[in-house]
Amino acid sequence: MLGATIVGISTLLQFAAAFVALRLMHITGKSISWGLISLAIFLMAIRRSATLLKIMQGQQAQPFDFSIELIALLISILMFAGLILISPLFKSMNINMAMLKKTRQDPGLRVVEHA
Protein backbone atom coordinates (compact mmCIF):
# COMPACT_ATOMS: atom_id res chain seq x y z
CA MET A 1 0.00 0.00 0.00
CA LEU A 2 2.95 2.33 0.61
CA GLY A 3 3.92 1.89 -3.03
CA ALA A 4 0.48 3.03 -4.20
CA THR A 5 0.72 6.05 -1.89
CA ILE A 6 4.13 7.05 -3.29
CA VAL A 7 2.98 6.68 -6.90
CA GLY A 8 -0.31 8.45 -6.09
CA ILE A 9 1.41 11.47 -4.57
CA SER A 10 3.86 11.61 -7.47
CA THR A 11 0.96 11.47 -9.94
CA LEU A 12 -0.97 14.23 -8.19
CA LEU A 13 2.11 16.45 -8.14
CA GLN A 14 2.60 15.92 -11.85
CA PHE A 15 -1.02 16.84 -12.63
CA ALA A 16 -0.63 19.93 -10.41
CA ALA A 17 2.62 20.87 -12.19
CA ALA A 18 0.87 20.54 -15.56
CA PHE A 19 -1.85 22.90 -14.32
CA VAL A 20 0.73 25.45 -13.11
CA ALA A 21 2.47 25.26 -16.50
CA LEU A 22 -0.90 25.99 -18.15
CA ARG A 23 -1.29 29.07 -15.94
CA LEU A 24 2.18 30.21 -16.96
CA MET A 25 0.96 30.25 -20.58
CA HIS A 26 -1.37 33.09 -19.65
CA ILE A 27 1.07 34.87 -17.35
CA THR A 28 4.00 34.85 -19.78
CA GLY A 29 2.19 35.00 -23.08
CA LYS A 30 4.36 32.12 -24.28
CA SER A 31 1.55 29.77 -25.25
CA ILE A 32 3.48 27.31 -27.39
CA SER A 33 6.41 26.86 -24.99
CA TRP A 34 4.38 26.44 -21.81
CA GLY A 35 1.72 24.48 -23.70
CA LEU A 36 4.31 21.91 -24.77
CA ILE A 37 5.76 21.74 -21.26
CA SER A 38 2.29 21.35 -19.77
CA LEU A 39 1.40 18.64 -22.28
CA ALA A 40 4.61 16.73 -21.56
CA ILE A 41 4.01 16.86 -17.80
CA PHE A 42 0.35 15.90 -18.28
CA LEU A 43 1.34 12.87 -20.38
CA MET A 44 3.85 11.83 -17.69
CA ALA A 45 1.04 12.06 -15.13
CA ILE A 46 -1.22 9.91 -17.33
CA ARG A 47 1.55 7.31 -17.54
CA ARG A 48 1.95 7.40 -13.75
CA SER A 49 -1.82 7.00 -13.42
CA ALA A 50 -1.64 3.79 -15.45
CA THR A 51 1.12 2.52 -13.15
CA LEU A 52 -0.95 3.45 -10.10
CA LEU A 53 -3.97 1.63 -11.49
CA LYS A 54 -1.91 -1.53 -12.08
CA ILE A 55 -0.53 -1.38 -8.54
CA MET A 56 -3.99 -0.94 -7.06
CA GLN A 57 -5.37 -3.84 -9.11
CA GLY A 58 -2.39 -6.06 -8.26
CA GLN A 59 -1.45 -6.39 -11.92
CA GLN A 60 2.04 -4.94 -11.74
CA ALA A 61 4.32 -7.16 -13.87
CA GLN A 62 7.54 -6.31 -12.04
CA PRO A 63 8.19 -6.18 -8.31
CA PHE A 64 7.74 -2.71 -6.83
CA ASP A 65 11.08 -0.89 -6.60
CA PHE A 66 10.88 1.68 -3.78
CA SER A 67 14.16 3.39 -4.67
CA ILE A 68 13.05 4.10 -8.24
CA GLU A 69 9.62 5.27 -7.11
CA LEU A 70 11.13 7.52 -4.43
CA ILE A 71 13.36 9.09 -7.09
CA ALA A 72 10.28 9.60 -9.30
CA LEU A 73 8.51 11.21 -6.33
CA LEU A 74 11.49 13.50 -5.71
CA ILE A 75 11.49 14.53 -9.38
CA SER A 76 7.76 15.29 -9.19
CA ILE A 77 8.26 17.38 -6.05
CA LEU A 78 11.14 19.33 -7.59
CA MET A 79 9.24 19.92 -10.84
CA PHE A 80 6.14 21.19 -9.02
CA ALA A 81 8.16 23.34 -6.60
CA GLY A 82 10.21 24.82 -9.43
CA LEU A 83 7.11 25.84 -11.36
CA ILE A 84 5.48 27.31 -8.25
CA LEU A 85 8.62 29.26 -7.34
CA ILE A 86 9.12 30.68 -10.83
CA SER A 87 5.50 31.88 -11.22
CA PRO A 88 5.92 35.06 -9.10
CA LEU A 89 8.93 36.04 -11.21
CA PHE A 90 6.84 36.02 -14.37
CA LYS A 91 3.99 37.89 -12.65
CA SER A 92 6.44 40.54 -11.46
CA MET A 93 7.91 40.85 -14.95
CA ASN A 94 4.43 41.38 -16.41
CA ILE A 95 3.66 44.10 -13.87
CA ASN A 96 6.97 45.83 -14.59
CA MET A 97 6.43 45.62 -18.35
CA ALA A 98 2.95 47.12 -17.98
CA MET A 99 4.33 49.98 -15.85
CA LEU A 100 7.11 50.59 -18.37
CA LYS A 101 4.59 50.69 -21.19
CA LYS A 102 2.47 53.24 -19.29
CA THR A 103 5.48 55.47 -18.59
CA ARG A 104 6.47 55.38 -22.24
CA GLN A 105 2.96 56.42 -23.25
CA ASP A 106 2.79 59.19 -20.63
CA PRO A 107 6.29 60.59 -19.88
CA GLY A 108 4.87 62.81 -17.09
CA LEU A 109 3.85 59.72 -15.13
CA ARG A 110 5.91 59.09 -11.99
CA VAL A 111 7.09 55.60 -11.18
CA VAL A 112 7.08 54.68 -7.51
CA GLU A 113 9.39 51.90 -6.38
CA HIS A 114 7.92 49.12 -4.27
CA ALA A 115 10.10 47.35 -1.75
Q: What is the pLDDT of residues 17-58, one digit of tens each?
A: 999 999 888 888 888 999 999 999 999 999 999 888 988 888
Q: What is the DSSP annotation of 37-64?
A: HHHHHHHHHHHHHHHHHHHHHT--SS--
What pTM value is reported for the model?
Answer: 0.72
Q: What is the pLDDT of residues 60-91, one digit of tens each?
A: 767 778 888 899 999 999 999 999 998 888 88
CA–CA separation, 109 and 66 (whole Å): 60
Residue spans of the domains in the chain: they are 2-87
